[in-house]
């Protein structure tokens, strides 16, 4: 996931649930129980899914 986003030039923040209890709490609040997970805009994508990531990034960039 990190390599894919870096390749696309997308800035991101890594939050390690093993090291950061707040990150785990935030993930649980999203009702996500597995990793990797990424939030792009209002969308949460669980697992590495390039198509969903690209679609979410496109929606984020498009107006309206």
Q: Which residue has the higher pLDDT, 13 or 64?
A: 13
Non-local (6+) Cβ contacts of 37 within 8 A are 27, 30, 44, 45, 46, 47
The pLDDT, as a whole number, for residue 64 is 59
Percent of the chain with pLDDT over 70: 97
Q: What ranges do the domains of the chain cover?
A: 2-61
Could you tell me if 52 and 63 are in contact, meaning their C-beta atoms sit under 8 angstroms apart? Answer: no
Please state the rounded mean pLDDT for residues 41-55.
Answer: 96
d(CA 10, CA 34): 22
Q: Rounded mean pLDDT of the chain?
A: 93
CB-count exposure of residue 24 (10 Å: 0-12, 13-18, 19+): middle
Which pLDDT tens digit goes with each residue over 20-33?
999 999 999 999 98
CA–CA gap between residue 48 and residue 29 (Å, rounded): 20
């Amino acid at each position: 996931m990190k390599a894919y986003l870096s390749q696309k030039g997308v800035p991101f923040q890594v939050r390690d649930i093993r090291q950061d209890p707040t990150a785990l709490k935030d993930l649980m609040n999203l009702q996500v129980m597995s990793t990797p997970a990424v939030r792009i805009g209002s969308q949460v994508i669980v697992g590495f899914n390039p198509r969903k990531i690209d679609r979410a990034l496109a929606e984020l960039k498009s107006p309206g």
